[in-house]
Amino acid sequence: MLEMRPDCESCGVDLPADQPGANICTFECTFCDDCVKGKLAHICPNCGGGFEPRPIRSIELLKKYPASGERKFKG
């Protein structure tokens, strides 16, 4: 199951699990649309892989399977 990390590792912006705008690589590194399209140029700085849009988890499923609260912002 996806960890659904709460923030962009690059800029720290919140990325709620029930909304679009998050991108992940195969290791679940998580970045916002702006960082992926801009300074990262679609390449993960941690593993060198590409990104895909992170799926959205419904509110009902978030109650049963909550998103991670561990922030990964590296600033």
Q: What is the mean pLDDT of residues 2-8?
A: 95
CATH number at residue 42: 3.30.40
Q: What residue type is assigned to position 50 of the chain?
A: G
Answer yes or no: is 72 within a domain. Answer: no
Overall domain count for the chain: 1
pLDDT of residue 58: 95
Strands 30-32 and 52-53, bridge-based pairing: unpaired
Answer yes or no: is 33 within a domain. Answer: yes
In which domain, by residue range, is 46 found? 1-65
Answer yes or no: is 15 within a domain. Answer: yes
* Dihedral sign (CA 11, 34, 14, 68): negative
Answer yes or no: is 53 within a domain. Answer: yes
Answer yes or no: is 71 within a domain. Answer: no
Answer yes or no: is 14 within a domain. Answer: yes
Tokens 């992940």: give the residue: 24
pLDDT of residue 74: 76
Extract the tokens encoding 32: 């916002």
Answer yes or no: is 75 within a domain. Answer: no
Summarised one tens digit per residue, pLDDT across range 37-59 is 999 999 999 999 999 999 999 99
Helix (H) or strand (E) holding 31: strand 30-32
Q: Could you tell me the pTM of the whole model?
A: 0.90
Q: What is the mean pLDDT of residues 54-72?
A: 94
